[in-house]
Structure formats: C-alpha cells, structure tokens
Amino acid sequence: MKEGYNRREFLKKTSAAMLSALAAGAPVSGLLSSCGSPTMKATADSVILLFMAGGMAHTETFDPKKYTPFRKGMESKEVLSTFPSIPTALDGIHFSEGLESIAKVMDKGTLIRSYVAADLGHILHTRHQYHFHTCYEPPQSVVVPHLGSWIAKEKGALNPVIPPFINIGQRFTVGEGEELKAFHSAGFLGSEFGPFLIPDPTSGLDSVRPPVGMTTKRFEARNKLYEDLLSAGPMGDFGSDYQKESLKRSMEQAYILLNSPEAQAFDLSKEPKESYDKYNTSKFGQGCLLARRLIDQGARYITVTTEYEPFFGWDTHDNGHTRLKDMKKMIDSPIAQLITDLDESGKLDRTLVIVASEFSRDMLTEGRPGLKVKDQVEVPDIIEDMKNYGMHRHFTDGCSILMFGGGIKKGHVFGKTADERPCKSIENPIKIDSIHQTIYHALGISPETNYEIERRPFYTTPDGHGKAELDLLI
C-alpha cells in the first residue's frame, strides 16, 4: 500500500471489494487440473501457521545480536538486543534468552533469518498482515482469498467433518477489527472455504454446538431464520448464485460437525491434565493444543495467533523488554510441545508448522534503511526509564521465520542479517511470494493455479510470479 492510503481509505476499498466478491460468479479455473501436476509430489498434508501478530523483533527472539543490559543514561543507538543469547540444538546458532524450549527442537526444522517484508508506505499492522496472509498488497479490486482459503479450495478437507480452514485466537471486537476482517476471507472462492473462527480456544466447543437449552428443533428453526435474514441482506441483494450456494454449503458443513463425534476434539477439557498443563501458558498456548487435537482429527489448515490488538502483545511501542519476557513465556513451551507431540505421533512429517510475524522491530529505524517512513513513536536518544528499553519502531528489512515438518529441511539455517545496525538481511533475502509458493509446493499445489476473475487470471501469488524456495525443502 502506498503512502497516500490511510485506515479509512483501506476500509473503503476493501468494503467495495467485498460487494464485488458477493456479485462474482463461479471462479473459472485456469488449470486443466488445479491439484498440482504429476511432477509435484506433496510432502505435506496439513499446515499450522503460528502467527506472532504485532511485530516480533528478530534481534530479541531468533536472531540475537550484541546484548546490552539496561542502565540509566545509555544511548538508544547502543541497543541491539536486550536479552543475552542462549545455545540451540544447532551448533553455533543462538536464540534470545527465554526461548529455551524452542531452541531444543530446532534440529527438527529450518530457521529463516532473512525474511523481508514489503514496502507499503506508512506502516499499519493490518496492511502488512493482509499482505502476509494473502500475498497481495492492499487494497485490491477483489476480495483476495486468504492463504488458508486457497489451500482449502485446492486440497479440500482431509476429514469432511472438520472445516478445512480454522482460525484460532483472534477476536474482531478489539482494535482494528474491520481491517482484520478484510483478509479473513475466502473472497471469490466462496464462503465454504472461509475460516471457521474460534476466538477463544477454551470455548472451542461452543463454536460447534447450540447454546445450553437449545433443542435440535429450535436450532434448525433458527438456522432457517438465519438463511432468511441472509437473503434479505447484502448476500440476497448482491450475491451471485455461486456465492449463495457456497454460503449454504458452509452452513451445512457446520451443522454436520455439530452432530459428529469429531466435535469433541474442540473440547480441551477432554485433554489429560499432564498434557494440558504443558500448553496452558495463555490463550495462545491453549490454541496450540487445540491445533494439535484438530490435526489428529484431520484438519487441513490452521492458524493460531497471539492475537493482534494495538499496543498489546508483540506491538511493543513501550516497555518492550518487559513485555517480551511475558510474550516468550506465552509461546516458548507450547510451540516446542506442539513440535514434540507431532513428531512423537508421526504426524510432523506430513504437517508443515510455521512460526512468523508481519515484520520485525528496531529502536531507531521505521521501515528499512533507504526507505525510512514516518516515525510512529518517539524513542529518546538517551534512555533513562526502563519503559524505553526494547524494540519500539517497525522494521521490515530483517525478520525471522521458523519452519518444521512437511518436507522442510531439518537443522537448517537459511539467510543472514547484519550483526550491526541496521540488522538487515544480507544473505538470501526472501519475500512473501516465495514463502507462499514454498508452502503450496509442499502441499503439491501448482504455481500455475489461478482463476478467472473480472476477466483476468488471478493467481495464488501476484501474476503467478512467486517461486518456491527449494533450498528450504528436503
């Protein structure tokens, strides 16, 4: 997104695109077969994206630099990392203190240290999150399908009872709710491929059952009323036959799940206490446990997020060091336990697990060197207060991503950032179109996959130019 777009313009454009999506007819595949090609062998059946929403600083997590402890009167430019480094299972590779559990399982996956986020002008988290999850720069003239929706459409459900695209942990009643909704969509692919939303994993079963006291007959009556309300709303006024049928199928799928034994997988109270306690660090940790339970039941694509809410979580505009201590406690044990459990059950080989964020952070640079954008927070030159010790500004030129399982190399490190500021990518920079195509490649989805929308082909990556990074794969 260019400098001139603000939040209001973003919403205006995406709202208009949503109406156009409703009116769109059935997408016409540009491939004779959209399920890959005979030369592409899938190495993964499922994907779990663990999304660190808010901007996870690479120098404070998976790519530590020189540690400078806090002292009053220190200069901001001295600070690269506010935690000492710790060893990992990979010789010579270190993480930041507080990530000891993930460090122990890095021999099972690949560490990417050179992800470069896009230049979208004045930085708004949800713009970059939109770009990360769809591969397209907002706004677009159509509602662009989420990565999970493409996978749901092209690969279908592994278990017809379990929704093929599940999103865990993000509420839409906080912060930039409407902007977040803009990319949580299947767009022109149809509602049946959109996300099954579980804002709170401890209430996951509530997503698949009627309220207490609701009889099956009353539930069916409400379902009919809901269909009538939809017909009287924008879907009825603007929706094409394809979109209406797709929405109807999504409602039917939810009803099938409601009455299935698999619905018990959403109930975390069924998990043995010893296992539950290993994940019970936070809502995110519980989401990781729910993801593991759903993979056991045949889920295709799952996102678990630390949740984006402005000035909370990884959005460390103040008290960065202190906040990061808490964020690491939230993610360290659950991520490592998820990898361990999947590995021990034999499911990691066919499950691609990704840990990522929309961009990184730095004390001094907003954006990237040479393309610096307007500062959104003031960082003093001299630090007198602990609240100014940590990563505050948004940095897009060096970010870390972890990948495990599903055909990803084990014990591998890809890319490098500079050891001195600016800690930018200096070896093997990789962008979002390559990340997406690497995921699609692992699933056996052809890079030529496209659908005709508005009389032009619409690809999984812009103009179909994205290429898988084969050095990440076995």
Residue 219 lies in a domain: no
258's tokens:
């409601």
- Average pLDDT over the chain, rounded to an integer: 89
Per-residue pLDDT tens digits for 186-201: 999 998 999 999 999 9
What is the number of structural domains in the chain?
1
> Minimal CA–CA distance to 469: which of 446, 448, 440, 444?
440
150's tokens:
């493409």
Cα angle 183, 185, 188 (rounded to 5 degrees) comes to 115
User: In this predicted structure, what is the pLDDT of residue 32?
Assistant: 45
Indicate the DSSP class of residue 269: G
Stated length of the chain:
474
> Minimal CA–CA distance to 316: which of 328, 304, 305?
328
Residue 348 near residue 342, CB atoms below 8 Å: yes
CA distance 326 to 94: 20
Helix, strand, or coil (residue 431): coil
Helix, strand, or coil (residue 416): strand
User: In this predicted structure, what is the pLDDT of residue 122?
Assistant: 83
360's tokens:
């990184």
Residue 236 lies in a domain: no
User: In this predicted structure, what is the pLDDT of residue 221?
Assistant: 67
CA distances from residue 374 to 6, 27, 310, 377, 399 in whole angstroms, order as listed: 13, 40, 18, 9, 20
Assessment of whether the complete model's pTM goes beyond 0.85: yes
User: In this predicted structure, what is the pLDDT of residue 238?
Assistant: 54
User: In this predicted structure, what is the pLDDT of residue 244?
Assistant: 67
376: left (phi over 0), alpha (psi -120 to 50) or beta: alpha
Residue 348 lies in a domain: yes
CA distance 165 to 286: 18
Q: What range defines the domain where residue 319 resides?
A: 7-207+262-472
Residue 142 lies in a domain: yes
Helix, strand, or coil (residue 307): coil
Residue 94 near residue 102, CB atoms below 8 Å: no
CA distances from residue 429 to 58, 113, 186, 416, 433 in whole angstroms, order as listed: 14, 8, 29, 8, 12
Q: Taking the mean position of all CA atoms in its chain, how far away is CA 230?
A: 29
Residue 252 lies in a domain: no
Residue 228 lies in a domain: no
User: In this predicted structure, what is the pLDDT of residue 141?
Assistant: 87
- Provide the residue-wise pLDDT of the chain in tens; the chain has 474 residues: 344 456 666 556 555 555 555 555 677 777 644 454 556 799 999 999 999 999 999 999 999 999 999 999 999 999 999 999 999 999 999 999 999 999 999 999 999 999 999 999 888 899 999 999 999 999 898 999 999 999 999 999 999 999 999 999 999 998 888 999 999 999 999 989 999 999 999 998 787 666 666 666 666 665 566 566 556 655 555 557 767 677 677 777 777 887 899 999 999 999 999 999 999 999 999 999 999 999 999 999 999 999 999 999 999 999 999 999 999 999 999 999 999 999 999 999 999 999 999 999 999 999 999 888 888 888 999 999 999 999 889 999 999 999 999 999 999 999 999 999 999 999 999 999 999 999 999 999 999 999 998 889 999 999 999 999 999 999
Residue 237 lies in a domain: no
Single-letter residue type at 232: A
CATH of the domain at 18: 3.40.720.10
CA distance 178 to 352: 29
The bridge status of strand 109-115 relative to strand 412-414 is parallel
Rounded to 5 degrees, φ, ψ at 360 are -105, -160
User: In this predicted structure, what is the pLDDT of residue 28?
Assistant: 76
Q: Which residues pair with 166 in a beta bridge?
A: 196, 302
